[in-house]
Amino acid sequence: MDFGLSPEQEMLRDTVGRCLSEICPLDHVRSCLDAGSAVSDQVAAALHDIGLTGLMVPEAHGGLGMTLLDAAVAAEQLGRAVAPAPFLARSVLAPLALMLAGSEAQQDEWLPRIASGEVRFGVAIGGIVEERDGAKVRAGDGRLTGTALFALDLAGADHFIVADDSGRLHLLAATATGVERIALQTIDATRSVGELRLTGAPAEPLADDGGLAARRLRDAGRVLLAADSLGAGEVMIEKAVAYAGEREQFGRVIGSFQAVKHMCAEMAARHEPCRALVWYAAHAFDAVPEAAALVACHAKSLTGEVHRFVARTATEVHGGMGFTDLLGLHFWFKRIGFDRQVFGGPERVRFEAAQLQGLTATT
Amino acid sequence: MNLEYGPEYERFRAEVRDFLTRNGHRAPEPAQRAARPTAEAVVWQNLLLERGYTARTIPREYGGYGAAPNILEARIIAEEFVRASVPGGLSNQGISMLVPTLLELGTEEQKRRWIEPTLRGEIVWCQGYSEPGAGSDLASLRTSAREENGHFVINGQKIWTSTARQADMIFCLVRTETEAPKHAGISYLIFSMDLPGIEVRPLKTMTGHAEFNETFFTDVRVPVDQIVGQRGQGWFVANATLGHERGMLGDPDALESRLLALIRLMQEEQVGCARAIDNPVLRDRLVALQAEVAAMKYNGMRVLSNQLKGDPGGMAKLIVKLQSCELAHQISALAIDAMGELGILYGGSPREREGGNWQWNYMFQLGLIIGGGTAQIQKNIIAERGLNMPREPRLALDAAQSRKEVA
């Protein structure tokens, strides 16, 4: 019995953390975003060098064959560093899509190239969570038509995994005819998101599995966004505690005032149980599949709520300075905001959790 | 991440399960608010003692089972009793607070005299810590004990002495050294509640019941050898047991079973043609609580794993009392809201649901948020011990110091 990370996972956490603290300090994030890019080539290259690109790809296909808990460990570090680097879609969801719904030939063709970084995927399955603004993708005769919103890891992607309106996944080349990609600006400039407008674009379908693979991708995505939020939230708590220990007013450091101390304690008390829940949700994805969808919902909704509270409270602990761009707290604030909404905000996700347990009205 | 306990533990689990299958029917009805165990409960307790399913690690010479401490065995016993809905061993302040204290700091004679009858439910204890003027600042307590002819003579008042009316004995903090700094002037005494000069008055709470008491001491004479630890060391003796109380108030299994009861209630209660759970707002609140309860469950497993590695548990442990008491209170609040207008029924009213338990819990759990270290004290502990934030400037101490200098 050991509820926690293995020594290898702790090593992975430390490796990714060290790599990012060297390559991706906040100044680097700022300079990327100032240059208008949500992707740092240096960070992406450094993450590739330590093996994150092929993290989920089975060893037989040239990857590391790791689990979603390993990916969650990495995602938490990316959230800590507010890293402007593709990961969720490119290194986790795309290979998972092929592993879950790809034919043997498709797996042989694409997985090694994902692991090596030769092909770079974005993933657009937002439609299976919420259909918005009438956007949907229809498939027929090997072609896709319609709009896919919230394609993740858009910038630099040369291929996409797209869910159609039945939930079936398709593999699409970005350069195919009838593919228009439009970047969307979000609160979180460290992530690259966009929409795909498809007019008869030729695409290769993955297995017709009634949307099963797409739902697994959604669950994995929820867990990893929760893990990202965990990292970003923890940094905000650390920064608030550190600032409260330095900033003096009324002749005392403000952290000695109970009003401020209790804000920090409340953040810590609500944040700490999220860690165990996210770890369990990631573990369950591989080890307890029958519980995975529900606990992914719980992890996503709880971190969404808790870290929204953390983001605003940590900002308040910093007083006026927290509100400025100078300290850069807002990068974490916005990262947490993104993590909360994508793949379903808390209310949407709790509704699904109720459905999964048969708690919704049967009529 | 390995959530398997391993084959030797699964064998142990099978043993416990087998015991419960054969004997579960002999367990007494859970008596939620009873202080003194019934004869039936004592028989059950003795059976559990004999089999080592309670007081498992307490040495045999003191009436326990004498097993080596093993966190997983303890966990399996707890899990299996909850799964079978069979009440486990007696749980009261004598067993959970006094016994561990005596084991750690009592004399051999004290251990032999008090532990076994306490475990067997023959002696019921109450706790004399808080005073009207000493709550969160417990060390400022003023109940005095002056030494006179081989006795301590005790005068003062205690409050929140739950079970004082039923108790045979009290473990009590008193001030023996009036000149010493406040933490160093306290002693930990144990004495009979039948002594002359003790008066117990029920303390009626907002629930309408008197779950607590006030206890008054007027020249109560206690032999000096009924002290645990040294004179003036009572604060440290008591702190050994406060930790046990905080652990007691944060049981994830209890939260889970309250939540399941809430789900049943929300499925059964009809509002018009729909069930309470079909109200999307109420259902959303329910699932939000479910996520929090799940998080506390896995947090508990994380703490357990840390303890197996000899780590005291860190932040994951420090937050348990604050979070669990708050969650338990929110579960009861939602139950009342799900009952709608019927949520006001209480005190044996017609149409009352589940004996008014949800309302009682909603009120009583507010008491638990305050008791055993208030939520605000818990936040200080989390901030100071967990986050290493600066302590509050010690104004009281400074003021006392300057008063002395003036004198």
Quick check: is A82 in a domain? yes
Examine the fold and report which residue of A116, A148, A179 is the final residue of a domain before the chain moves on: A116
CB-CB: which of A4, A265, A298 is closest to B291? Answer: A298
Range of the domain at B130: 125-235
DSSP letter string, A120-165: -EEEE-GGGT---TT--EEEETTEEEEEEEEEES-TT-SEEEEE-T
Quick check: is B240 in a domain? no
- B268 plus B340 within the same structural domain: yes
Considering only CB atoms, which chain A residues are within 8 Å of B390?
245, 253, 255-256
CATH number at residue B135: 2.40.110.10
Considering only CB atoms, which chain A residues are within 8 Å of B378?
265, 269
Residue A132: CB atoms within 10 A of its CB come to 12
- B256 plus B187 within the same structural domain: no
Quick check: is A44 in a domain? yes
- A139 plus A176 within the same structural domain: yes
pLDDT score for A38: 87
Residue contact A3–B4, C-beta within 8 A: no
- A351 plus A216 within the same structural domain: yes
Quick check: is B243 in a domain? no
Helix (H) or strand (E) holding A173: strand A169-173
Considering only CB atoms, which chain A residues are within 8 Å of B306?
4
Q: How far apart are CA B233 and CA A348, in angstroms?
A: 56
- A173 plus A284 within the same structural domain: no
Q: Which residues contact B157 (CB under 8 A, 6 or more apart)?
A: B131, B132, B143, B214, B215, B216, B217
- B182 plus B226 within the same structural domain: yes
- A291 plus A318 within the same structural domain: yes
Examine the fold and report which residue of A78, A96, A116 is the final residue of a domain before the chain moves on: A116
Quick check: is B129 in a domain? yes
CATH number at residue A292: 1.20.140.10
CA distances B71 to A40, B1, B67, B82, B169, Å, are: 48, 18, 11, 17, 30
Quick check: is A91 in a domain? yes
Considering only CB atoms, which chain B residues are within 8 Å of A264?
383, 387, 389
Amino acid at A308: R
Residue contact B308–A2, C-beta within 8 A: yes
Examine the fold and report which residue of B90, B107, B138 is the final residue of a domain before the chain moves on: B90
- To test the contact with chain A by mutation, choose from B8, B265, B287 the residue with the greatest count of A C-beta atoms within 10 A, namely B287
- A246 plus A339 within the same structural domain: yes
- A216 plus A349 within the same structural domain: yes
Helix (H) or strand (E) holding A320: helix A319-323
- B71 plus B172 within the same structural domain: no
- B219 plus B343 within the same structural domain: no
Quick check: is A284 in a domain? yes
- B283 plus B313 within the same structural domain: yes
CATH number at residue B365: 1.20.140.10
A38 CB within 8 Å of a chain B CB: no
Quick check: is B27 in a domain? yes
Amino acid at B46: N
Quick check: is B115 in a domain? no
- B145 plus B214 within the same structural domain: yes
Examine the fold and report which residue of A205, A227, A259 is the final residue of a domain before the chain moves on: A205
pLDDT score for A339: 98
Pairing of strands A159-163, A169-173: antiparallel
pLDDT score for A217: 98
CATH number at residue A27: 1.10.540.10
- A22 plus A144 within the same structural domain: no
Quick check: is A2 in a domain? no
Going residue by residue through chain B, which has 407 residues, state the pLDDT in tens, using 9 for 90 and above: 999 889 999 999 999 999 999 999 999 886 655 678 889 999 999 999 999 999 999 999 999 999 998 888 988 998 899 888 888 889 889 998 999 999 999 999 999 999 999 999 999 999 999 999 999 999 999 999 999 999 999 999 999 998 999 999 999 999 999 899 999 999 999 999 999 999 999 999 999 999 999 999 999 999 999 999 999 999 999 987 665 554 545 577 789 889 999 999 999 999 999 999 999 999 999 999 999 999 999 999 999 888 888 887 889 999 999 999 999 999 999 999 999 999 999 999 999 999 999 999 999 999 999 988 899 999 999 999 999 999 977 765 556 665 665 55
Range of the domain at A52: 7-116
First-residue to last-residue Cα distance in chain A: 43
- To test the contact with chain B by mutation, choose from A250, A261, A348 the residue with the greatest count of B C-beta atoms within 10 A, namely A261
Instruction: Examine the predicted complex and report whether its ipTM is higher than 0.90.
Output: yes
CA distance A237 to chain B (A): 9
B105 and B130 Cβ atoms separated by less than 8 Å: no
Is B256 one of the annotated active-site residues of the chain? no
- To test the contact with chain A by mutation, choose from B13, B286, B384, B389 the residue with the greatest count of A C-beta atoms within 10 A, namely B389
- A253 plus A332 within the same structural domain: yes
A83 and A190 Cβ atoms separated by less than 8 Å: yes
CATH number at residue A199: 2.40.110.10
Going residue by residue through chain A, which has 363 residues, state the pLDDT in tens, using 9 for 90 and above: 899 999 999 999 999 999 999 999 999 999 999 998 989 999 999 999 999 999 999 999 999 999 999 999 999 999 999 999 999 999 999 999 999 999 999 999 999 999 999 999 999 999 999 999 999 999 999 999 999 999 999 999 999 999 999 999 999 999 999 999 999 999 999 999 999 999 999 999 999 999 999 999 999 999 999 999 999 999 999 999 999 999 999 999 999 999 999 999 999 999 999 999 999 999 999 999 999 999 999 999 999 999 999 999 999 999 999 999 999 999 999 999 999 999 999 999 999 999 999 999 865
User: SS3 for B391?
Assistant: coil
Quick check: is A363 in a domain? no
Examine the fold and report which residue of B63, B90, B117 is the final residue of a domain before the chain moves on: B90
CA distance A351 to chain B (A): 7
B253 and B79 Cβ atoms separated by less than 8 Å: yes
DSSP letter string, B17-80: HHHHHHHGGGSPPP-TT-SSPPHHHHHHHHHHHHHTSSSTTS-GGGTS--PPP-HHHHHHHHHH
Considering only CB atoms, which chain A residues are within 8 Å of B391?
256
Residue contact B1–A274, C-beta within 8 A: no
Quick check: is A362 in a domain? no
Quick check: is B140 in a domain? yes
- A29 plus A99 within the same structural domain: yes
Residue contact B389–A252, C-beta within 8 A: no
Query: Which one, of B166, B245, B200, B212, lies nearest residue B363 by Cα?
Result: B212
CA distance B354 to chain A (A): 22
- B320 plus B377 within the same structural domain: yes
CB-CB: which of A1, A255, A280 is closest to B389? Answer: A255
B27 and B53 Cβ atoms separated by less than 8 Å: no
Beta bridge partners of A202: A143
- B260 plus B379 within the same structural domain: yes
Quick check: is B230 in a domain? yes
Determine phi and psi for A159, rounding to 5 degrees: -140, 160
- A337 plus A219 within the same structural domain: yes
Among candidate residues B79, B211, B214, B245, the one labeled active-site is B245
Q: How far apart are CA A220 and CA A88, in angstroms?
A: 9
- A239 plus A305 within the same structural domain: yes
Residue of B nearest to A68 (CA): B1
Quick check: is B242 in a domain? no
- A98 plus A194 within the same structural domain: no
Q: How many domains is chain A partitioned into structurally? A: 3
Amino acid at A56: M
- B227 plus B287 within the same structural domain: no
Q: How many domains is chain B partitioned into structurally? A: 3
- B349 plus B380 within the same structural domain: yes
- B84 plus B185 within the same structural domain: no
Quick check: is A195 in a domain? yes
Residue contact B383–A302, C-beta within 8 A: no
